[in-house]
Amino acid sequence: MIRQWAGMYDVSPDHLPLVGPTQQLGGWWQANGWSGRGMLLAPYLVELLATEVASGQRHPRLQMFAPDRFAPDVATVESAHDYYARYAAR
Ligand SMILES: Cc1cc2nc3c(=O)[nH]c(=O)nc-3n(C[C@H](O)[C@H](O)[C@H](O)COP(=O)(O)OP(=O)(O)OC[C@H]3O[C@@H](n4cnc5c(N)ncnc54)[C@H](O)[C@@H]3O)c2cc1C
């Protein structure tokens, strides 16, 4: 082994990222909660987000990633299943 590294997964309750503005904090835009798939998803979704910032128009594909899909008063929601289980063959 030559080198190794570790990092934290920012995992959302439904394992989907949070991309866009939120009504909870005016002027705040976010792209996080990638749930271990940020390298895969971020380039495309952030391009859509940048287009939304510039045009004011939300791309339909971003709807399912709206940060406000979670209730603001829920501080922590624990996933009911093992994070890695979804990688297993079905
Ligand atoms: C071990 C591991 C394996 C992974 N494997 C995969 C994979 O195979 N495929 C995949 O798609 N994804 C994978 N991911 C997930 C992917 O790496 C992340 O989802 C992605 O890097 C998130 O990108 P980001 O730009 O949102 O955040 P980050 O890459 O975390 O970038 C955030 C940046 O902000 C900086 N920062 C933080 N706080 C401040 C501050 N206050 N001021 C200024 N700068 C600040 C940080 O230094 C950092 O450079 C893996 C993650 C880990 C940890």
- Best residue for ligand 1 mutational test, from 37, 40, 44, 47 (most atoms within 8 Å of Cβ): 37
Judged against a pLDDT cut of 80, whether residue 26 lies above it is answered with yes
Judged against a pLDDT cut of 80, whether residue 29 lies above it is answered with yes
- In the reported structure, the alpha carbon of residue 38 is separated from the centroid of ligand 1 by a whole-number distance in angstroms of 7
Task: Identify the three-state secondary structure at position 64.
Answer: helix
Q: Read off the amino acid at residue 55.
A: S
Judged against a pLDDT cut of 90, whether residue 19 lies above it is answered with yes
Judged against a pLDDT cut of 70, whether residue 34 lies above it is answered with yes
Rounded to whole angstroms, the Cα distance separating 29 from 68 reads 12
pLDDT one-digit tens code per residue, 56-87: 999 999 999 999 998 877 666 565 566 666 66
| 4-10 mean pLDDT | 86
